[in-house]
Amino acid sequence: MDQDFKGIVMSTITHDYNYNNQSDDSSIDQEDQLMDDLRRGPWTVEEDLLLVNYIANHGEGRWNSLARCAGLKRTGKSCRLRWLNYLRPDVRRGNITLEEQLLILELHSRWGNRWSKIAQHLPGRTDNEIKNYWRTRVQKHAKQLQCDVNSKQFKDTMRYLWMPRLVERIQAEAASTATTASSNGAKVATANSTNYMNQPNNTMNNGYNQEFSDDQYIFQTSNNEFSGSFNNQSFVTATPENSSTGGSSDSMGSNTQLSSDCYSFPHSNTYNIAQNTHTNNYSETLFSPNSNYYYHQQQQQQGSEFQGIDQQQNNNSNMWLGGGEDVLDNIWNSDDMWFIQQQLSNDL
DNA sequence: AACTTATGCAACCGCACCATT
DNA sequence: TAATGGTGCGGTTGCATAAGT
């Protein structure tokens, strides 16, 4: 067990130990304990160590027997959950990054609440964490907008306002990083404009759980050029699920299907995902050369409710390009909120 | 400072699916 | 083929803490 892992485990354990000291016995379902002598509720230091040590020596799997053999008075399910969501050394902790937020929004728009599937594309993040993020952050904003998180209106808001803003913030951070690196004498690539492109393919009207083929989502970093060809761009050409070259397994044997670099945007300023052969559809995407977003005429004709919002928000771009821990918390100003709510009320 | 409310998140639950017996 | 056990998923709960009054 390496030191980092130990550190993580110990900090985790310390947290839980304090937690348990406050509500130890009461947190246990007494009746169940009498019935089958199984513990429930928060894990203790000793339990964590038992589980970690056992898995280090014997590996994971067959969780019910693992729980017994390790001397844990827990269900196999509980052990599995504790390991996967918390003790596993490759669990990534800390705030969800802008890139991860963007990816979650994108993947959720196509897969719905299929958290484990979404989590497969965010290395180190668990389905539980992503689910919690969605429920606490995204649904909060749906509530603020007084619309259902599954409604077309909210989906459009995400796609045409929220996600482009995320991209611009990522872009701003990347530019800032490049500037810093450059001033430090580092050899850096030319800072490209980052363009978020989603191949909608009826996304304006897609069903909540509608499946999209994986070659239909694209993140591209370009030089403000968008000709429908990727040939001059340096992005990863691998699909999350059908790439024979991109597939991989992580150290713990989970089914990560792409190397993390495919989705770790800041590493190379290429947060490009997927190969895309539908080049003739690019004109349907939301893209403008200066990285502001406009609606393609075709989509305007389809009745997008948010025509003109971009222009308004460009006037206020500094509002959300500034600092802030969570783009979701400062993404709207009062004008935005008023405007969006007007649009939503008009649509009802 | 005390109290209330909101938020974040670990953990649990029920269900479905699959493999094995 | 049915029963059983293991696994994984999505939804929900409950507690600690933060934020607000």
In chain A, domain spans? 3-87, 98-347
In the structure encoding, which two tokens stand for residue A207, read together?
């069903």
What's chain A's average pLDDT? Answer: 54
The residue with greater pLDDT, A247 or A154, is A154
Judge whether A142 and A152 are in contact, CB under 8 Å. Answer: no
The residue with greater pLDDT, A198 or A83, is A83
pLDDT (0 to 100) of residue A148? 73
pLDDT (0 to 100) of residue A226? 25
pLDDT (0 to 100) of residue A342? 57
Task: State how far the Cα of A198 lies from the Cα of A218, in Å rounded to an integer.
Answer: 6
Judge whether A57 and A69 are in contact, CB under 8 Å. Answer: no
Shortest-distance nucleotide from A130 CA to C1': B9
The whole-number Å distance from A119's CA to C17's C1' is 27
Judge whether A294 and A148 are in contact, CB under 8 Å. Answer: no
Q: How confident is the model over A267-301, as pLDDT tens digits?
A: 222 223 222 222 222 222 222 222 222 223 233 33
Annotation: CATH topology of A3-87? Arc Repressor Mutant, subunit A (1.10.10)
Q: Tell me the β-bridge partners of A220.
A: A195
3-state DSSP helix/strand/coil % of chain A, to nearest 5:
55, 5, 45
Q: A61: phi > 0 → left, psi -120 to 50 → alpha, else beta; which? A: left
Average pLDDT over residues A123-145: 81
Would you say the C-beta of A63 is within 7 Å of strand C? yes
Q: CB-based contacts with strand B under 7 Å?
A: A 16, 29, 32, 39-43, 74-75, 77-78, 81-82, 85-86, 128-129, 131-133, 135-137, 140
The whole-number Å distance from A227's CA to B6's C1' is 48
Would you say the C-beta of A76 is within 7 Å of strand C? yes
Residue of A336, A341, A327 lying closest to A146 (CA atoms): A341
Helix (H) or strand (E) holding A198: strand A193-198
The whole-number Å distance from A80's CA to C15's C1' is 22
Shortest-distance nucleotide from A85 CA to C1': B10
pLDDT at A78 over 50: yes
pLDDT at A55 over 80: yes
The whole-number Å distance from A271's CA to C10's C1' is 29
